[in-house]
Chain A
């Protein structure tokens, strides 16, 4: 098994998986706590529509993914802020509309393009050095922003109106969070794919949620779980020759259920019921 680590492609894959795992699990803390889970899913599908358009028109797919992702989160945030409709309704509409666009763009392609499907299901073992550099660069931007604005992000996740009332520029921070979600999705497209990136944002933070009552501990647990499951999933996929995206996500799901079973919160609730 150790010889796996000597291959260049394996080293790139593990590094990409670790970066994406860290990134998704960090932003996931704020997504879960602020109740933006569905936004993550909607953004991922919107970004895939961008990728499909990119391939159709010969434009850079990741740039198009970024534009579609940002467009979706900003429209969603604007609609919520104006109180026009509930967030899950507006994202639901955009989610399905962008997915319809993706199917349309793929349908308009004259030939079958396997690379497009790579972005849908992820192929971390095929990550190139150039893609790894892009992932690393965007990861630094996203994680750096989270570190810089962590106290404000925690506060708006807890209570946005309270944050605004006490002098935090809450609306701008909310849009920053939405932007970071879109960037995270785009960074993760190549590794885990548009369908599974949502799981990587949601599962590590939800798992950590089972284990602690402290915000800072929750964040560290989430990162630890995200990185371990990503790296573990890539190794499992190589050893058992199974697709990497599902391996990562199913491992994370397994860890989630174990955490639910062992959760101190759950045990306290059963004690209280007895």
Chain B
């Protein structure tokens, strides 16, 4: 982790939402280049808002957010192309008539800009991205015919085809079986190490990522905690955020006990 280099993403007392609705309030957070950061929090805690803000799709109502040292609502196309994004499952139509390679090639479009047609070089970048996620053998298959885990790999390859500096993943394991969940998170960890990517992974699954991330960010409209997993995953902090007693068991996994039942 480059401790003293300028942060790649910098929230400075930033508040996000719509008139009358605050989704995230007074967030101050710096993410350094090359970090692997997990973002956790209950439903409605503002995780997806954070994601949209980093993508430059939402400007702060108050405060500032700078990405690549540029105000987030002034991100130019070439800035946006440096953030590879994996949307939540269900956001895109998985039966859209598109092949695996056509899907990954779309990752090149933002970086290429208008009026430039994809070249052989772009095709090679897309094929390399497919190889990185182990899907090179499926390039001519229909996206809709792949399993959920394979589709996630293709979407990660699309993000990689942008040749991004930041990989932003919004609940990438939702709806996948347990083995596939592990495989997807392992793939992300591998890409983080191999390509030196800054990774921002939004998830509900604390157990899945706690041993893999450099830092955890715990949200519930406000930023409750940010730091190494051991510092964030303290029962007193978690129960404040989740309204439950979360117990760290001997096997080092977190279980939830109903607050009322416990008392």
Q: Which residues of A contact B (CB under 8 A)?
A: 33, 148-149, 151-152, 154-155, 158-159, 161-169, 209, 212-216, 218
Residue numbers in B under 8 Å from A168 (CB-CB)? 77, 109-110
When C-beta atoms are compared, the residue in chain B nearest to A213 turns out to be: B142
Residue numbers in B under 8 Å from A212 (CB-CB)? 97
When C-beta atoms are compared, the residue in chain B nearest to A35 turns out to be: B93
**Is the CB of B99 closer than 8 A to any CB of chain A?**
yes
The answer to whether A158 and B92 have CB atoms under 8 Å apart is yes
Minimum CB–CB distance from B56 to chain A (whole Å) comes to: 7
Out of A154, A166, A214, which one reaches B110, CB within 8 Å? A166
**Is the CB of B130 closer than 8 A to any CB of chain A?**
no
| CA–CA, A68 and B93, complex, Å | 32
| CA–CA, A158 and B107, complex, Å | 12
The answer to whether B114 and A213 have CB atoms under 8 Å apart is no
Residue numbers in B under 8 Å from A215 (CB-CB)? 97-99, 102
**Is the CB of B134 closer than 8 A to any CB of chain A?**
no
B145-163: contact bitstring with A at CB < 8 Å (1 yes, 0 no)? 1000000000000000010
Those 6 A-B pairs whose CB atoms lie nearest each other, nearest first: A167-B110, A213-B142, A167-B81, A167-B80, A166-B110, A167-B77
When C-beta atoms are compared, the residue in chain B nearest to A83 turns out to be: B18
Residue numbers in A under 8 Å from B78 (CB-CB)? 167
The answer to whether B98 and A158 have CB atoms under 8 Å apart is yes
9 pairs, A vs B, C-beta closer than 8 Å: A158-B93, A159-B87, A159-B92, A162-B92, A166-B106, A167-B81, A168-B109, A213-B98, A214-B102
Minimum CB–CB distance from A165 to chain B (whole Å) comes to: 4
The answer to whether A154 and B106 have CB atoms under 8 Å apart is yes
Out of A149, A155, A162, A213, which one reaches B99, CB within 8 Å? A213
| CA–CA, A169 and B118, complex, Å | 17
- Chain B 116-156 interface residues, beta-carbon cutoff 8 Å to A: 117-118, 141-145
When C-beta atoms are compared, the residue in chain A nearest to B141 turns out to be: A213
Residue numbers in B under 8 Å from A152 (CB-CB)? 109, 114
When C-beta atoms are compared, the residue in chain A nearest to B159 turns out to be: A166
| CA–CA, A33 and B96, complex, Å | 8
When C-beta atoms are compared, the residue in chain A nearest to B84 turns out to be: A166
The answer to whether B85 and A214 have CB atoms under 8 Å apart is no
| CA–CA, A158 and B105, complex, Å | 12
Minimum CB–CB distance from A207 to chain B (whole Å) comes to: 12
| CA–CA, A91 and B81, complex, Å | 33
Residue numbers in B under 8 Å from A214 (CB-CB)? 97-99, 102, 142
Out of A148, A161, A164, which one reaches B115, CB within 8 Å? A148
Residue numbers in B under 8 Å from A33 (CB-CB)? 96-97
**Is the CB of B217 closer than 8 A to any CB of chain A?**
no
Residue numbers in B under 8 Å from A216 (CB-CB)? 102
The answer to whether A213 and B85 have CB atoms under 8 Å apart is no
Minimum CB–CB distance from A179 to chain B (whole Å) comes to: 16
The answer to whether A165 and B56 have CB atoms under 8 Å apart is yes
The answer to whether A149 and B114 have CB atoms under 8 Å apart is yes
| CA–CA, A214 and B143, complex, Å | 9
- Chain B 175-204 interface residues, beta-carbon cutoff 8 Å to A: none
Q: A167-B81, A213-B99 given. 14 additional CB < 8 A pairs?
A: A151-B112, A155-B106, A158-B103, A161-B87, A162-B85, A166-B81, A166-B83, A166-B107, A167-B77, A167-B110, A168-B77, A169-B77, A214-B98, A214-B99
When C-beta atoms are compared, the residue in chain B nearest to A212 turns out to be: B97
Residue numbers in A under 8 Å from B109 (CB-CB)? 151-152, 155, 163, 166-168
When C-beta atoms are compared, the residue in chain B nearest to A29 turns out to be: B97
When C-beta atoms are compared, the residue in chain A nearest to B55 turns out to be: A165
**Is the CB of B111 closer than 8 A to any CB of chain A?**
yes
| CA–CA, A163 and B81, complex, Å | 10
Minimum CB–CB distance from B188 to chain A (whole Å) comes to: 18
Residue numbers in B under 8 Å from A162 (CB-CB)? 85, 87, 91-92, 106
Minimum CB–CB distance from B160 to chain A (whole Å) comes to: 12
**Is the CB of B248 closer than 8 A to any CB of chain A?**
no
**Is the CB of B70 closer than 8 A to any CB of chain A?**
no
**Is the CB of B57 closer than 8 A to any CB of chain A?**
yes
Residue numbers in A under 8 Å from B141 (CB-CB)? 213
| CA–CA, A33 and B87, complex, Å | 19
Residue numbers in B under 8 Å from A169 (CB-CB)? 77, 114
When C-beta atoms are compared, the residue in chain A nearest to B144 turns out to be: A213
